[in-house]
């Protein structure tokens, strides 16, 4: 049960991070301000870091 919950959390965090980075790239190339794409990029990076931590925890439990 714990592994399936962690699998779900990993996917949510991974997809959230990728969406954050995609939105940052859209703002970067679409004429957004540095604050807009900077905050989106940092937020996406935090989600991907959280995904990596969840993967590490999942592997330690297995």
Q: What does the pLDDT read at residue 21?
A: 94
State whether the Cα torsion 24-30-36-37 is positive or negative.
Answer: positive
Q: What does the pLDDT read at residue 61?
A: 85
pLDDT, mean of residues 1-22: 92
Considering the entire predicted model, what is its pTM? Answer: 0.85
Query: What does the pLDDT look like over 44-61, one tens digit per residue?
Result: 999 999 999 999 999 998
The number of residues in the chain equals 62
């Amino acid at each position: 049960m714990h592994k399936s919950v962690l699998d779900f959390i990993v996917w949510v965090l991974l997809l959230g991070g990728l969406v954050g980075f995609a939105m940052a790239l859209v703002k970067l190339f679409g004429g957004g301000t540095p604050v807009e794409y900077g905050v989106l990029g940092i937020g996406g990076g935090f989600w991907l870091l959280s995904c990596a931590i969840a993967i590490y925890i999942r592997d330690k439990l297995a």
